[in-house]
Amino acid sequence: MLVFFYIFATLAVLGALGVLLLPSPVYCALSLVATLISVAGIFLLLNQEFVAAIQVLVYAGAIMVLFLFVIMLLNLRSTEGFRLKWSVPKMLGVALAAGLLAQLVGLFTAPAARLGPPGEYTAQRLAEEGAVEAVGNLLFTRYVLPFEVISILLMVAVMGAVVLAKRRPAEEGGEQP
């Protein structure tokens, strides 16, 4: 069992590095698929078959099709090489990412880091109801607003990609449809 964990973990890390280091956006997206499938394998090792199936169907399937559609729609080319040019927005982004990382580390290292209110979801209650039902109840009752905000953000991102793709031919001297 431990050998399979190390295999899946190594594949996940290699896939994540491929997302960061490969020059072509399509290859980066395929590396992300490999990472997501490796994470699904880790879920299988934890006896979470439902989460593994959802990981493959939703993320490696539907979301990656959306990513590839946007990449193809934008007609992205591979970059010449990685050049780091610092600007104020990039420095703000790095500072924001560092702050988010610090908060996540603090959240998961705190002694009271739990999912949900303390004592609400005991092991006995999860065995009776089922973990999937408990997550669904929390997601669509207590956390419905963040769930809907994320769906709106994804929709706006796709609409922005379509608008950018329609503008590009006119800016490059091509015909406007």
Q: What is the CATH number of the domain that holds 24?
A: 1.20.120.1200
User: DSSP assignment of 62-112, as one string?
Assistant: IIHHHHHHHHHHHTPPPPSS------HHHHHHHHHHHHHHHHHHHHHHSTT
Q: Retrieve residue 111's tokens.
A: 């002694």
In this structure, are 79 and 102 located in the same domain? no
* pLDDT, mean of residues 162-173: 63
% of the chain with per-residue pLDDT over 70 = 80
pLDDT at 138 over 60: yes
At 176 the pLDDT is 52
Residue-range definition of the domain harbouring residue 165: 121-177
Instruction: Quote the distance between the C-alpha of residue 126 and its chain's center.
Output: 26
pLDDT of res. 84: 60
CA distances from 40 to 13, 18, 44 (A): 13, 18, 6
User: Sorting pLDDT into bands at 50, 70 and 90, what band is 44?
Assistant: very high
pLDDT value of residue 58 = 85
Burial profile 123-134: b = 16 or more Cβ within 10 angstroms, e = fewer: eeeeeeeeeeeb
Indicate if 21 and 74 belong to the same structural domain.
Answer: yes
Token pair, residue 62, equals 């539907």
pTM of this structure? 0.53
How many distinct structural domains can be found in the chain?
A: 3
| CB 74, CB 164: distance < 8 Å | yes
* Sign of the Cα pseudo-torsion (59, 64, 70, 74, in order): positive
